[in-house]
């Protein structure tokens, strides 16, 4: 049975049982505890916590999930996946244990012809919580014999979110794969043979503080008993498809086949290669799903996880023998495989490819850089007579330069060196510990939104700001320091909830309106407006005059100047987005934005810096659209219709069934947007691009002023240009040419100065030759170079001195002093090399004195130290070393 069919049967089964089918949430949710959605119940958390009233009594979904704690284990075993699909059914105070057990058993064991999965009941085992007699009795009644029911403790069969909140016992269903996969005895004996496929959580209690899976207090029963179940789609797939693990299933094995084609290696021959094939299959699918939901490679958070996944794909492919880029091929096959369930992968394939290929290109450069750094490190180790690359160096290569440890190990072996793996692992463990402690410090119970629940249930705030800036309203609630308050007095900060409001609540990149709330003798200054549950407007205000009381009739007013500027900024953002796509093409897709009065910032997916011509064209297209005075139309429709019309959506955003479309100039710009806008494009005023920069791999940013802020900026630039023209005594239009002439003259002068400095340095070579010491049969120049001589000139000087000794054996050691650093050069001529002297070996004699290291070839070695006070001791150490060797 194909995986897409497994998903469909699950949903159909529960829809027939009265459940509402709920689409998968994005992998990215606004939850402070989660990097990614990692369980099927995450989008329903507010219902389980009692913060919101669910719109249905029972629901079913197949949720996209990503878990990243085990990235390093992916491929090593066949049990770890970063991306997986969790099928679940949920009851919010409706049914409980008996029906949950019956529904699960029926789907698993019903014949395929009747819509079930057709599992043999004789091969299914169940576990229950230690004292859950009720669940055991129900399993016995359904036909599971007592010898296939096992009781397990809190660590295995008691569920919680890991933080204070709902919890309860659970019952897990296992499938017996047979004696060839392990020993008899059920899940307690062998969880490789007995594979867990479904977990039924009976959410009935509330947990308190504590740590771990079994160290917390159970405070008491929940007001309502809930059901939360999770069936692993991938696990069921490999069992029903008769293969040995998830990597052999219909959604992963074709990726391995493609990897075989691209690398020339075969899966199933060597374990090390199999690990790499599985890494590619797993990570390619996860990366595509993350990019589709709006994640872009970066240096922290979600972006860093995606970057790691993509780089592990490239690394694994290279180790398997791939010589050409592979990412586009992998993204295409993932799209082909997953699109029947997630059609956005097909419609958005070009953007997904662009992001993934961009990271691959960047990482291939990193690999080249890392290889160079490794060569230098290996040379330094050998120069000091060592045979092992220190763990600190391996960690630096890995952590700072993104150079994978297994490549370090492989290249070290080729160079005849070992790696201090224990030291590396210790540093990695310390880094993980710090990250874990940081995450734990940030992890807390879900923000307590219970106080807003009654207000959310009462109904959404009516936003009147699309049509008016002043609205009559009623105060529904006042909240001070997280507690409902009947009244707020002068000087107090207060959250005000109104039944209707013209003030825009921050969302969609547009910051909140500023404004006032007034009544007779009462005035509040509103500095921010935020949304709760996407429906409730919370006005964060300060009482400047009088007292405000719950139930008061008030007048809410948005600051007109602020709103005018905000609408210019937001509409200007749409102009710039449309211009980017017109100039750069459809792959220039929005990755984020911020707009406020007079200013906009727009992030988009793109590889490489924009040219001056491209920036000029984007600004010109934007202002042409402003000058065209396009009408701005808004309308509400359903999401499928909006997409059919070509409306652009922000990737990773969760939209409801109905969406608001903002259309500017017909086909010029059409986007899903809930923000406020001008009525005609000419009201935006001039748009002036301030610049363009990188904010991460594959993401560029443009910033611009609009309206009066644009005018003020241009006026300032004009005044600056006039000042420069006056100083140069040329007309304004001749300033660029005049500045170019001055720059060229400066370059010529700098080059002449460099030549003079070099000549002066070389002129001192004769004096250094005069200072040569004869030690045995070798002439040694070991001196401190003049202060301030840079490393490049030091090398030139050393080479010149060496050349003056002709056929006499000579060793030259120069140590410099430049801004507290100690650059050094060691060079040995051929006659001295024939006597056994090597430049790299001599570095080790003085390196510790100046806290430095370096390396090179027998003829020339160089590097730098950080302790100028050790120069004299270092030179003495060189003399001793040469004397020892010459003797």
Per-residue pLDDT tens digits for 453-464: 888 888 899 999
**Dihedral sign (CA 465, 466, 468, 469):** positive
Distance of CA 880 to the CA centre of its chain: 54
Q: Is 677 annotated as a binding residue?
A: yes
Helix (H) or strand (E) holding 754: helix 735-763
pLDDT at 773 over 60: yes
pLDDT value of residue 333 = 97
pLDDT at 137 over 70: yes
Q: How confident is the model at residue 608 (pLDDT cuts 50, 70, 90)?
A: confident
Rounded CA-CA distance 883/549 in Å is: 93
pLDDT at 350 over 50: yes
Cα dihedral value 472, 473, 474, 478, nearest 10: -130
Q: How many CB atoms lie under 10 A from the CB of residue 178?
A: 9
Distance of CA 375 to the CA centre of its chain: 31
pLDDT single digits (tens) 281-295: 999 999 999 999 888
pLDDT at 336 over 80: yes
Closest among 745, 747, 705 to 728, alpha carbons compared:
745
- Answer for the pair 192, 245: CB distance below 8 angstroms, yes or no: no
pLDDT single digits (tens) 11-47: 999 999 999 999 999 998 766 567 888 888 888 888 8
pLDDT value of residue 756 = 75
User: Which token pair is 241?
Assistant: 């498809």
Q: How many CB atoms lie under 10 A from the CB of residue 463?
A: 20
Name the phi and psi angles at 44, rounded to 5. Answer: -100, 5
Question: Both ends of the chain: CA-CA distance in Å?
Answer: 81
177-204: average pLDDT:
94
Q: How confident is the model at residue 442 (pLDDT cuts 50, 70, 90)?
A: very low
820 three-class SS: coil
Q: What percent of the chain has pLDDT over 90?
A: 55
110-137: average pLDDT:
96
Choose the weakest-confidence range: 52-61, 565-574, 603-612, 661-670: 603-612
Residue bearing the bigger pLDDT, 694 or 63: 63
Q: How confident is the model at residue 758 (pLDDT cuts 50, 70, 90)?
A: low
pLDDT value of residue 651 = 61
Q: What percent of the chain has pLDDT over 70?
A: 95
pLDDT at 370 over 80: no
- Answer for the pair 725, 731: CB distance below 8 angstroms, yes or no: yes
Q: In the predicted model, what is the mean pLDDT of the chain?
A: 89
Residues in the chain: 887
Closest among 508, 484, 498 to 538, alpha carbons compared:
498
- Answer for the pair 240, 116: CB distance below 8 angstroms, yes or no: no
pLDDT value of residue 787 = 74
**Dihedral sign (CA 400, 404, 409, 410):** negative
Q: How confident is the model at residue 492 (pLDDT cuts 50, 70, 90)?
A: very high
pLDDT value of residue 618 = 96
pLDDT at 838 over 50: yes
Rounded CA-CA distance 638/633 in Å is: 16
pLDDT value of residue 624 = 96
Q: How confident is the model at residue 645 (pLDDT cuts 50, 70, 90)?
A: confident
Q: Is 65 annotated as a binding residue?
A: no
Closest among 672, 651, 673 to 28, alpha carbons compared:
651
pLDDT single digits (tens) 572-588: 999 999 999 999 988 78
pLDDT single digits (tens) 238-279: 999 999 899 999 999 999 999 999 999 999 999 989 999 999
pLDDT value of residue 482 = 85
Residue bearing the bigger pLDDT, 792 or 692: 692
pLDDT value of residue 469 = 96
pTM tops 0.75, yes or no:
no
pLDDT value of residue 441 = 44
Q: How confident is the model at residue 446 (pLDDT cuts 50, 70, 90)?
A: very low
Residue bearing the bigger pLDDT, 756 or 28: 28
Residue bearing the bigger pLDDT, 310 or 657: 310
The b/e string for 260-292 (b: 16+ C-beta within 10 A; e otherwise) is: bebbebebeeeeebbbbbbbbbbbbbbbbbbbb
Q: Is 574 annotated as a binding residue?
A: yes
Q: What is the 3-state secondary structure (H, E, C) of 177-195?
A: CCHHHCCCCCCCCCCCCEE
445-449: average pLDDT:
51
pLDDT value of residue 444 = 39
Cα 526 to Cα 276, 471, 496, 521, 597: the distances in Å are: 56, 14, 9, 17, 16
Q: Is 4 annotated as a binding residue?
A: no
DSSP 701-726: EEEEEEHHHHHHHHHHHHHHHHHHHH
User: Which token pair is 136?
Assistant: 């055991």
Q: How confident is the model at residue 72 (pLDDT cuts 50, 70, 90)?
A: confident
495-522: average pLDDT:
94
């Amino acid at each position: 049975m194909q995986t897409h069919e497994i998903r469909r049967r699950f949903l159909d089964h529960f829809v027939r049982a009265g459940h509402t089918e709920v689409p998968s949430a994005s992998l990215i949710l606004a939850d402070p505890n989660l990097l990614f959605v990692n369980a099927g119940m995450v989008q329903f958390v507010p219902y389980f916590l009692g913060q919101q009233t669910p719109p249905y009594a029972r629901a079913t979904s197949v949720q996209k999930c990503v878990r990243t704690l085990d990235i390093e284990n992916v491929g090593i075993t066949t049990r770890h996946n970063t991306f997986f699909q969790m099928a679940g059914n949920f009851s919010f105070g409706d049914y409980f244990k008996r029906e949950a057990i019956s529904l699960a058993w029926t789907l698993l064991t019903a014949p395929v012809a009747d819509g079930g999965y057709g599992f043999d009941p004789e091969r299914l085992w169940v576990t229950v919580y230690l004292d859950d007699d009720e669940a055991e009795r129900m399993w016995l009644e359904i036909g599971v014999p007592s010898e296939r029911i096992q009781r397990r403790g809190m660590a295995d069969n008691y569920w919680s979110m890991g933080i204070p909140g709902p919890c309860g016992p659970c019952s897990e269903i296992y499938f017996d794969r047979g004696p060839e996969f392990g020993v008899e005895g059920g899940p307690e004996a062998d969880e490789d043979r007995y594979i867990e496929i479904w977990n039924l959580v009976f959410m009935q209690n509330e947990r308190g503080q504590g740590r771990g899976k079994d160290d917390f207090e159970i405070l008491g029963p929940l007001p309502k008993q809930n059901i939360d179940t999770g069936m692993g789609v991938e696990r069921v797939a490999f069992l029903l498809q008769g293969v040995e693990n998830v990597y052999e299933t219909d959604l992963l094995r074709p990726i391995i086949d493609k990897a075989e084609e691209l690398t020339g290696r075969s899966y199933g021959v060597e374990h090390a290669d199999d690990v790499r094939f599985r890494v590619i299959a797993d990570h390619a699918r996860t990366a595509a799903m993350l990019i589709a939901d709006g994640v872009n490679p970066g240096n922290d958070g979600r972006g860093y996880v995606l970057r790691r996944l993509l780089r592990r794909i490239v690394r694994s492919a290279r180790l398997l023998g791939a010589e050409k880029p592979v990412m586009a091929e992998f993204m295409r096959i993932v799209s082909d495989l997953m699109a029947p369930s997630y059609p956005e992968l097909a419609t958005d394939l070009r953007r997904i490819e662009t992001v993934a290929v961009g990271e691959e290109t960047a990482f291939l450069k990193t690999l080249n850089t890392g290889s160079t750094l490794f060569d230098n490190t290996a040379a330094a180790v050998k120069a000091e007579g060592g045979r092992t690359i220190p763990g600190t160096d391996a960690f630096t290569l890995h952590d700072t330069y993104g150079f994978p440890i297994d490549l370090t190990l492989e290249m070290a072996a080729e160079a005849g060196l070992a790696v201090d793996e224990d030291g590396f692992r210790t540093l990695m463990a310390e880094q993980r510990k710090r990250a874990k402690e940081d995450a734990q410090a940030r992890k807390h119970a879900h923000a307590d939104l219970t106080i807003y629940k009654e207000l959310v249930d009462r109904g959404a705030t009516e936003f009147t700001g699309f049509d008016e800036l002043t609205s009559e309203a009623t105060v529904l609630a006042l909240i001070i320091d997280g507690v409902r308050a009947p009244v707020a007095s002068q000087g107090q900060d207060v959250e005000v909830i109104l039944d209707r409001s013209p003030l825009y609540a921050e969302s969609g990149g547009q910051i909140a309106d500023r404004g006032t709330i007034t009544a007779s003798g009462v005035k509040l200054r509103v500095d921010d407006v935020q949304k709760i549950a996407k429906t409730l407007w919370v006005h964060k205000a300060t009482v400047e005059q009088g007292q405000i009381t719950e139930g008061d009739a008030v007048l809410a007013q948005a600051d007109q100047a602020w709103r005018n500027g905000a609408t210019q900024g937001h509409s200007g953002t749409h102009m710039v987005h449309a211009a980017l796509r017109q100039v750069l093409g459809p792959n220039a897709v929005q990755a984020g934005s911020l707009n406020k009065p007079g200013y906009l910032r727009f992030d988009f997916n793109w590889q490489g810096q924009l040219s001056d011509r491209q920036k000029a064209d984007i600004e010109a297209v934007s202002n042409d659209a402003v000058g065209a005075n396009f009408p701005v139309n808004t309308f509400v429709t359903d999401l499928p219709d909006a997409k059919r019309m070509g409306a652009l959506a922000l990737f990773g955003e969760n939209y409801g069934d109905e969406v608001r479309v903002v259309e500017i100039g017909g086909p010029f710009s059409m986007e899903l947007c809930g923000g406020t806008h001008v009525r005609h494009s000419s009201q935006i005023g001039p748009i002036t691009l301030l610049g363009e920069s990188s904010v991460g791999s594959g993401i560029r940013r443009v910033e611009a002023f609009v309206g009066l802020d644009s005018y003020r900026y241009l006026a300032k630039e004009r005044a600056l240009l006039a000042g420069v023209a006056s100083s140069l005594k040329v007309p304004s239009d001749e300033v660029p040419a005049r500045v170019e002439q001055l720059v060229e003259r400066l370059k010529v002068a700098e080059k002449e100065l460099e030549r003079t400095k070099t000549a002066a340095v070389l002129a001192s070579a004769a004096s250094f030759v005069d200072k040569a010491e004869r030690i045995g049969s070798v002439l040694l120049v070991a001196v401190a170079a003049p202060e301030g001589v840079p490393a490049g000139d030091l090398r030139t000087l050393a080479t010149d001195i060496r050349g003056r000794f002709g056929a006499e054996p000579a060793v030259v050691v120069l140590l410099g002093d430049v801004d507290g650093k100690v650059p050094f050069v060691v060079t040995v001529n051929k006659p001295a090399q024939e006597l056994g002297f090597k430049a790299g070996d001599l570095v080790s004699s003085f390196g510790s004195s100046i806290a430095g290291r370096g390396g090179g070839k027998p003829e020339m070695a160089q590097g730098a130290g950080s302790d100028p006070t050790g120069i004299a001791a270092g030179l003495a150490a060189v003399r001793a070393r040469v004397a020892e060797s010459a003797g």
